[in-house]
Structure 1
Amino acid sequence: MDLRDARERWVRTGGIELCVAELGDPARPTVVLVHGYPDSKEVWSEVARRLADRFHVVLYDVRGHGRSTTPKPLRGGFTLEKLTDDFLAVADAVSPDGPVHVVGHDWGSVQSWEFVTVERTKGRIASFTSMSGPSLDHFGHWIKRRMSHPSPRRVGQLLGQGAKSWYVYALHTPVLPELAWRGTLGRQWPRILRRMEKVPADGYPTSSLSKDAAHGAWLYRDNIRSRLRRPRADAYAHVPVQLIIPTGDAFLSPVLHDDLEEWAPRLVRRSLPAKHWVPRTRPGQLTSWISEFVSAVDAGQYDVAESVPAGPAHSVPAPGRATGPHADRFGGQLVLVTGAASGIGRATALAFAAAGARLVAVDVDEEGAARTAEAALRVGAGAAWAEVLDVRDEKAMEELAERLSSRHGVVDVLVNNAGIGLSGSFFDTTSEDWRNVLDVNLWGAIHGCRIFGGQMTRRGQGGHIVNVASAAAYQPSRALPAYSTSKAAVLMLSECLRAELAGQEIGVSAICPGFVTTGITATAHFAGADDAEEARLRTRAGRLYGLRNHPAEKVAHAILEAVVHNRAVVPVTPEARAARLLSRFGPSVLRGVARVKPPL
Structure 2
Amino acid sequence: MRIEEATERWVRTGGVELCVAEMGDTARPTVLLVHGYPDSKEVWAEVASRLAEHFHVVLYDVRGHGRSTAPQPLRGGFTLEKLTDDFLAVADAVSPDRPVHLVGHDWGSVQSWEFVTVRRTEGRIASFTSMSGPSLDHFGHWIKKRMVRPTPRAAAQLLGQGAKSWYVYMMHTPVLPELAWRGPLGRQWPRILQRVEKMPAGDYPTASLPRDAAHGAWLYRDNIRARLRRPRADAYAHAPVQLITPTGDAFLSERLYDELEQWAPQLVRRSLPAKHWVPRTRPDQLASWITDFVTANEDTAAGVAPRDTVAGGPYADRFAGQLVLVTGAAGGIGRATAYAFAEAGARIVAVDRDAEGAARTAEMARLIGAQKSWAETVDVSDEQAMEKLAEKVATEYGIVDVLVNNAGIGLSGSFLDTTSEDWKKVLDVNLWGVIHGCRLFGRQMADRGQGGHIVNTASAAAYQPSRALPAYSTSKAAVLMLSECLRAEFAGRGIGVSAICPGLVNTGITSTARFAGVSADEEKLKQRKTARLYGMRNYPPEKVADAVLKAVVRNQAVVPVTPEARGAHFLSRFAPKALRAIARLEPPL
Query: CA separation in 2, counterparts of 1:456 and 1:394?
Result: 19
Q: How does 1:276-425 map to 2 (within 5 A)?
A: 276-300=276-300, 319-425=308-414
Q: Is the 8 A contact 1:116 1:122 kept in 2?
A: yes
2:221 is matched with: 221
Looking at structure 2, the residues matched to 155 and 509 of structure 1 have their Cα atoms a distance apart, in angstroms, of 34
2:560 pairs, out of 571, 588, 592, with 571
Measured in 2, the distance between the counterparts of 1:444 and 1:24 equals 43
Kindly provide the CA deviation profile for residues 291-335 of structure 1, in whole angstroms up to 9, marking residues without a partner as x. Answer: 22222212218989xxxxxxxxxxxxx954222122222222221
Q: CA deviation at 1:160?
A: 3.2
Q: Counterparts of 1:584 and 1:172 in 2: how far apart (Å)?
A: 56
Question: What does the per-residue CA deviation read over 1:460-511, in whole Å, with 9 as the maximum and x for residues that have no partner?
Answer: 2222111101112222233322222211111111111112122222211111
Contact 1:240 1:302 survives alignment (8 Å): no
- Range with bigger deviation, 573-582 or 425-434: 425-434
Letter in 2 for 1:119: R
- Assess, with a 3 A threshold, how the Cα gap between structure 1 residues 61 and 408 changes in structure 2: closer, same or farther: farther
Displacement over 6 Å in runs of 4+ = 301-304
Label 1:597 to 1:264 Cα distance change in 2 as closer, same or farther (>3 A): same
1:235-286, CA deviations, whole angstroms, 9 ceiling, x for partnerless residues? 2211001112223322222232233222211112222333221222222322
SS in 2 for 1:138: helix
Aligned with 2:415 (options 420, 426, 439): 426
With over 3 angstroms needed to count, the CA separation of the structure-2 counterparts of 1:188 and 1:475, relative to structure 1, is same
Query: 2:523 and 2:386 mapped to 1: Cα distance?
Result: 32
Task: Tell me the equivalent position of 2:468.
Answer: 479
Q: CA 1:248–1:138 in structure 2 vs 1: closer, same or farther (change >3 Å)?
A: same
By how many angstroms is 1:218 displaced? Answer: 1.6
User: How is 1:59-458 mapped onto 2 (pairs within 5 angstroms)?
Assistant: 59-300=59-300, 319-458=308-447
- Aligned partner of 1:7 in structure 2 is 7
User: Whole-Å Cα distance in 1 between the matches of residues 310 and 419 of structure 2?
Assistant: 50
Contact residue 293 and residue 309 of structure 2 kept, 8 A: no
- What residue identity is the alignment partner of 1:524? A
Return the offset for 1:393.
2.5
Give the direction of change, closer, same or farther, for the CA distance of 1:369–1:52 in structure 2 (3 Å limit). Answer: farther
Relative to structure 1, the CA distance from residue 535 to residue 146 in structure 2 (aligned partners, 3 Å threshold; closer, same or farther) is closer
Return the alpha-carbon distance in structure 2 between the equivalents of residues 88 and 554 of structure 1: 51
When residues 226 and 578 of structure 1 are mapped into structure 2, their CA distance, relative to the original with a 3 A threshold, is closer
Equivalent in the alignment of 1:312: none
Q: Does 1:544 align with 2:533?
A: yes
| Distance in 2 of aligned mates of 1:555 and 1:146 | 41
**Distance in 2 separating the partners of 1:394 and 1:477:** 30
- The CA distance in 1 between the partners of 2:81 and 2:320, in whole Å, is 35
Task: Report the 3-state secondary structure (helix = DSSP H, G, I; strand = E; otherwise coil) of the residue aligned with 2:296.
Answer: helix
Q: Which moved more, 1:520-529 or 1:482-491?
A: 520-529
Cα distance change, pair 125–347 in 1 and its aligned pair in 2 (3 A): same
CA distance in 1, matches of 2:5, 2:355: 37
Q: Secondary structure at the match of 2:204?
A: coil
Cα distance, 1:147–1:570 mapped onto 2, change above 3 Å: closer
2:366 maps to a residue whose letter is L
Q: Structure 2 counterpart of 1:392, which letter?
A: S
Q: Deviations over 1:52-90 (max 9, x none)?
A: 333222222112111222222222322222222222222
Alpha carbons 1:65, 1:208 under 8 Å: kept: yes
- Offset at residue 179 of structure 1 (A): 0.9
- Please report the RMSD computed on the Cα atoms of aligned residues, expressed in angstroms: 2.3
What CA deviation, in whole Å up to 9, does each residue of 1:411-440 have, x standing for no partner? 111110011112233343333322222111
Letter in 2 for 1:183: G
Counterpart selection for 1:517 from 493, 496, 506: 506
Match of residue 572, structure 2, among 550, 558, 583: 583
1:557 corresponds, among 513, 526, 546, to 546
Asked if the contact 1:473/1:491 (under 8 Å) is kept, the reply is: yes
**Cα distance in 1 between the residues matched to 2:179 and 2:263:** 38
CA contact (8 A) 1:349 1:361 kept: yes
Q: For the residues of structure 2 that align with 1:96 and 1:409, how far apart are their CA atoms?
A: 36
Gaps of 5+ in 1: 305-317
Worse overlay, 368-377 or 514-523: 368-377
Aligned residue type for 2:487: R
* Secondary structure at 1:98 match in 2: coil
Instruction: Give the corresponding residue for 1:314.
Output: none
Residue identity in the other structure for 2:572: S
**Paired residue secondary structure (2:300):** coil
Structure 1 equivalent of residue 479 of structure 2? 490
Deviation at 1:210, TM superposition (A): 0.8
- Alpha-carbon distance change, 392 to 114 in structure 1, aligned in 2, over 3 angstroms: same
Q: CA deviation at 1:445?
A: 0.3
Partner secondary structure for residue 426 of structure 1? coil
Distance in 1 (alpha carbons) for counterparts of 2:472 and 2:358: 24
Equivalent residue number for residue 36 of structure 2: 36
Aligned to 1:18: 18
Deviates more, 1:439-448 or 1:367-376: 367-376
**What are the Cα deviations for residues 2-38 of structure 1, in whole angstroms up to 9, with x where unaligned?**
7223333333333433222233333332211110000
Q: Take 1:301 and 1:571, find their aligned partners in 2: how far apart are those partners?
A: 48
Q: 1:536 to 1:159 in 2, by over 3 A?
A: closer
Separation (CA, whole Å) in 2 of partners of 1:339 and 1:151: 49
Aligned CA distance change for structure 1 residues 9 and 532 (closer, same or farther; 3 Å): farther
- Structure 1 distance, partners of 2:203, 2:178, is 23
In the TM superposition, what whole-angstrom CA distance separates every residue of 1:210-245 from its partner, at most 9, and x where no partner exists?
111011112122222333333333222110011122
Indicate conservation of the 8 Å contact 1:466/1:509, yes or no.
Answer: yes
* Paired residues of 2:347 and 2:372 also in contact (CA < 8 A): yes
1:325–1:354 contact (8 Å) kept in structure 2? no
| Partner residue, 2:516 | 527
1:507 aligned to 2:496? yes
Paired amino acid for 2:173:
T
What SS does structure 2 have at the residue aligned with 1:533? helix
Pick aligned residue for 2:454 from 452, 465, 477: 465
- Check the 8 A contact 1:296/1:302 in 2, yes or no: no
C-alpha distance in structure 1 between counterparts of 2:457 and 2:49, whole Å: 36
Q: Percent identity?
A: 77
- Structure 2 residue ranges without an equivalent (≥5): none
TM-score (norm 1): 0.92
Question: 2 CA distance for matches of 1:499 and 1:231?
Answer: 46
> Using the alignment, how far apart are the partners of 1:155 and 1:562 within structure 2?
30
Are the aligned partners of 1:18 and 1:60 in contact in 2 as well (CA < 8 Å)? yes
- Cα distance in structure 2, aligned partners of 1:301 and 1:14: 32
Question: 2 CA distance for matches of 1:64 and 1:407?
Answer: 38
Aligned equivalents of 2:498 and 2:508: distance in 1?
23
Q: What whole-Å deviation, never above 9, does each CA across 1:332-354 have from its counterpart, x for those lacking one?
A: 22211111110000111111122
**What CA distance in whole angstroms lies between the structure 2 residues aligned with 1:299 and 1:344?**
37
Following superposition, the deviation at residue 290 of structure 1 comes to 1.7
Who is 1:27 aligned against? 27
* Alpha-carbon separation, structure 2, partners of 1:373 and 1:583: 38
What letter is aligned with 2:400? V
Deviation for aligned residue 1:564: 1.7
